[in-house]
Structure 1
Amino acid sequence: MTSVNVDQLSSTDSDSAPLLETKKLTRHFRVGRGLSRKMLHAVDDVDLTIGRQEIVALAGESGSGKSTIARLLAGVYKPTDGEIYYQGQALSSMRSRRDQLAYRSDVPMVFQDPFSSLNPAFRVSHGILRSLKLHRTDLTRSQRYDEAERVVEAVGLAPAGEIMHRYPYELSGGQRQRIGFAQALAHKPKLILADEPVSMLDVSIRIGLLNLMAELRRSEGVSFLYITHDIASARYVADRLVIMYAGHIVESGPTESVLANPKHPYTDLLLGAVPDPRAPLTAAVEGDTGEPPKVIDPTPGCRFRWRCPLVVDECHHITPTRRRLGDNHDAACHVAQPDPGEENLAAR
C-alpha cells in the first residue's frame, strides 16, 4: 500500500470528510500466560466521528475504554481491528515518518496528570520549544521562542517570558495543565485529545480549564475530544456527548438531548449518580445492582445486562447495535424507545 502525505489531500476530500472518524475500531489485550491466556476486550467496534471546531465529550466509568480510545487515536496503540480516518485518509496508509509526524502534529494529546507530564529537570520552555523544533521545522530559533511565548499567553499564563523560565515544581497544578495545552497548541493542531485534563485539579480551578478549551476552539479553530467521567463538565463544554460502557459506545448525540432525554439505562445510571444537594445522604442510585463487567473473553449480549433494571431475555444473547432514536441521537439498547416520528429510522 502506498504512503499518502496528509498535506497532499485534495481540498474537496478534506472539506467533505469529518475531521476524524473511526469505523469498527477495536483493541484487545492478551492477559495471562500459557493455558490461562485470555483476551481483554478494551474497545470493541467503536464508530466515532469528530467534526471541525467541535468539542466531543467521551464519558463513562473508569475501565470503560475511554483512555484506550485516546491512545489509539494518538497512535500509542495499534488497533486490533477497524480503522481510523483523518480528513478522509486511513491512518494505516500513512507509512512514512513524515506522514506520521504530520498526523501527530495535527492530533496531539494532553494527559491527565499535570504533575508527571512535565519533566522536572527542565524549565517549562523546554517541552514547548522541543515540540516546535520537531513539528514546525520552518521556524527559526528566534521565531520558535516568539511562538512559544504566544501559545503560553494563549492558554492564559502571563507574563509568558517569566512563566517559561520556571521549573514545573514552581507552578500550581492548574498552571502545569495549561502548559500541557500550550505544548499541544505549539503544533498548530486541528484536534486535541484531552484525557481527563481536569480530574486531578481542585474543583475551584476546573472551570478555568474548561473555559480554556472553549476559548481555544473559538480563537485557534481547534477541535477537542474531551474524555471525562464527569457528566456536569461534559454538559458545560461539549457539543456532543458519547457514552461508553465496557468497551462499547452505548449512546451518543447532542449533549442536551442525551442528558434531557437519555435512551440507554446506563446513561440514566450516570445521571442518577450526579450528587443532588436536595437528596437525602442515604439515597441510592435506582437500578444500580452490580459492578462493571470484567471484559475478558466476553460472551454475546448486552454488557450492561447484569446491572440493568430493564433487562429482557434478548439482552442475554444478542449484542445490541446502535439505532437512531432521536434527532442525531442514537443508542445501543434492545428496549430503548425512539422519539415520535423516528420509528422508521430506529428500525433500520
Structure 2
Amino acid sequence: MSPLLETKDLSRHFKVGGKLFSHRLLHAVDDVNLTINEREIVALVGESGSGKSTMARLLAQVYKPTAGQITFQGKDLAQLRGRKQHLQYRSDVPMVFQDPFASLNPVYKVSHGIKRGLKLHRPELSAQERHQELLRVVAAVGLNPPEEIIERYPYELSGGQRQRIGFAQALAYRPKLILADEPVSMLDVSIRIGLLNVMAKLRDEEGVSILYITHDIASARYVSDRVMVMYGGHVVESGPTESLLADPQHPYTQLLLSAVPDPRAPLEVTTEAAKAEPPAVIDPKPGCRFRARCPLAVDVCAHVTPVLRPVVPEHAAACHVTAPAEVAAA
C-alpha cells in the first residue's frame, strides 16, 4: 500500500542577515524523507529549532520547498493548480496550532469557525446538515453537551476545551491527515492526556492520520505508532515507537530519553552533551550536526554528513558510529 503522504529530499532554506542581496542561508529543513500511512499517528520529535514546525508548514503549504517533493495520495503537490485543488488539499490536510488562546476569534461563538469552515470546504451541505455536522464533530472530540458548548465564547472555555475545538474544526473538513503542531505544549500537564486520547480516538474511530509534532518524547510514546527524531534540520532516527524508544540508536535520541523519568529508558548522557549549544544551521558545512554534543563522535563525523540507514528491522539512524543492520548481523 502506498503512503498517504510522502516527502522526498525535502528542504527549506531561509535568507538571513537583513540585506537584500545576502547569500547567507538558514537550513531549517534539509533532505527530509517522511512517510505517513493511513490510520497512523507519526510523532515528529525534537527540541526547539530542530525544524519540526517548519516541516508542518511545508506540508500545510504555508512555505514552498526550496528543494524536494511532497506527494499526497500519489500526487505531487507542485502540480496542484487553481483555487479548487488547493482548497481540497487544505480540506484533506488541515492544521491544528499550538496556541489554543490565539486560534479562536474572541468576538464570535465557538460555532462560528466550524460553520464557516463547513460552508467553505463542504458547500454541498444544507444549513441543517451543517448544524448536525457541527454537533457531531464537537461531540467527537469529547465536548459535551455539544448544544451547550457551541453557544459559548472562547473566553468561556478552558485551554484544553479550546484545543478540542481546534480538532473539531479540522475534523469538520473530513480530513485524511491532521497536522498537529505542539497541540498540548501550552496546556496543563493534568489535561494533556485528554487531548492525546482525542488524537488516538480520531485515528481509531474516524480513520484520520495525524502528524504529531512535539518536543515531549514521553507523549510521543503514549500516542504514536512511529517516531521520527529531528535535529538541526535533519531526521536522525526513525522507527516504530516501542522499538525505537526501547533501543534508541542515535545519541541525540538517547539524550532526549534521558530527560524522561521512565524506568524503561535508563539511559545516561554526559553533562557536556546536555548543556552544549544547539547546532549552527546557517550555511552549515558537511558533517554531523550533533557532533559537538555527542560523546561518541569520531573524526569522520566532522567531515561527512551521515544519512539514515537501517540498524534493526524498520528502524533507521543517521549515525557513523551506529553499526548498520548488515554489519550488526555479521
Using structure 2 for the length normalisation, give the TM-score: 0.95
**Superposition pairs for residues 115-194 of structure 1, below 5 Å?**
115-194=101-180
Provide, for residues 109-149 of structure 1, a one-character-per-residue CA deviation record: whole Å limited to 9, x for no partner. Answer: 00000000101111100100011001001101111111011
Q: Which residue of 1 aligns with 2:240?
A: 254
Asked whether the 8 Å contact 2:100–2:159 carries over to 1, the reply is yes
Q: Which residue of 2 aligns with 1:31?
A: 16
Distance 2:121 2:286 in 1: 44
Q: Which residue of 2 aligns with 1:5?
A: none
Q: Which stretch of structure 1 is more off in the superposition, 235-244 or 90-99?
A: 90-99
For structure 1, list consecutive stretches of 5 or more residues without a partner in the other structure. 1-15, 278-282
* TM-fit CA distance, 1:71: 0.5
Distance 1:125 1:173 in 2: 16
Q: Which residue of 2 aligns with 1:57?
A: 43
Asked whether the 8 Å contact 1:22–1:83 carries over to 2, the reply is yes
Distance 1:47 1:165 in 2: 43
Q: Which residue of 2 aligns with 1:12?
A: none
Distance 1:156 1:59 in 2: 26
**Superposition pairs for residues 234-273 of structure 1, below 5 Å?**
234-273=220-259
**Pair 1:99-2:85 in alignment:** yes
Using structure 1 for the length normalisation, give the TM-score: 0.90
Q: Which residue of 1 aligns with 2:301?
A: 315
CA spacing shift, 1:254–1:186, aligned 2, 3 Å? same
Provide, for residues 68-125 of structure 1, a one-character-per-residue CA deviation record: whole Å limited to 9, x for no partner. Answer: 0000001111101101000111000111211111111000000000000101111100
Asked whether the 8 Å contact 2:4–2:37 carries over to 1, the reply is yes
Distance 1:289 1:219 in 2: 43
2:191 aligned to 205, 210, 214, which one?
A: 205
Q: Which residue of 1 aligns with 2:290?
A: 304
Distance 2:227 2:96 in 1: 19
Write out the 4+ residue segments of structure 1 that deviate beyond 2 Å after TM superposition.
34-37, 283-289, 344-347
Secondary structure class of the residue paired with 2:274: coil
CA spacing shift, 1:287–1:247, aligned 2, 3 Å? same
Q: Which residue of 2 aligns with 1:8?
A: none
Secondary structure class of the residue paired with 1:67: helix
Equivalent pairs counted in the alignment come to 324
Distance 2:13 2:21 in 1: 18
CA spacing shift, 1:159–1:276, aligned 2, 3 Å? closer
Q: Which residue of 1 aligns with 2:219?
A: 233
Asked whether the 8 Å contact 1:269–1:286 carries over to 2, the reply is no
Q: Which residue of 2 aligns with 1:86?
A: 72
For structure 2, list consecutive stretches of 5 or more residues without a partner in the other structure. 264-268
* TM-fit CA distance, 1:303: 0.4
* TM-fit CA distance, 1:291: 1.1
Secondary structure class of the residue paired with 1:288: helix
Q: Which residue of 1 aligns with 2:266?
A: none
Distance 2:24 2:304 in 1: 22
Q: Which residue of 1 aligns with 2:4?
A: 19
* TM-fit CA distance, 1:155: 0.5
Q: Which residue of 2 aligns with 1:4?
A: none
Distance 1:284 1:122 in 2: 51
CA RMSD of aligned residues (A): 1.8
Asked whether the 8 Å contact 1:300–1:319 carries over to 2, the reply is yes
Asked whether the 8 Å contact 2:272–2:293 carries over to 1, the reply is no
* TM-fit CA distance, 1:57: 0.3
* TM-fit CA distance, 1:288: 2.8
Secondary structure class of the residue paired with 1:271: helix
**Pair 1:290-2:273 in alignment:** no
Asked whether the 8 Å contact 2:15–2:22 carries over to 1, the reply is no
Instruction: Give the counterpart letter for 2:2 in structure 1.
Output: A
Instruction: Give the counterpart letter for 1:40 in structure 2.
Output: L
* TM-fit CA distance, 1:318: 0.5
Q: Which residue of 2 aligns with 1:280?
A: none
2:201 aligned to 211, 215, 236, which one?
A: 215
Distance 2:126 2:309 in 1: 52
Secondary structure class of the residue paired with 2:278: coil
Q: Which residue of 1 aligns with 2:63?
A: 77
CA spacing shift, 1:35–1:97, aligned 2, 3 Å? closer
* TM-fit CA distance, 1:257: 1.0
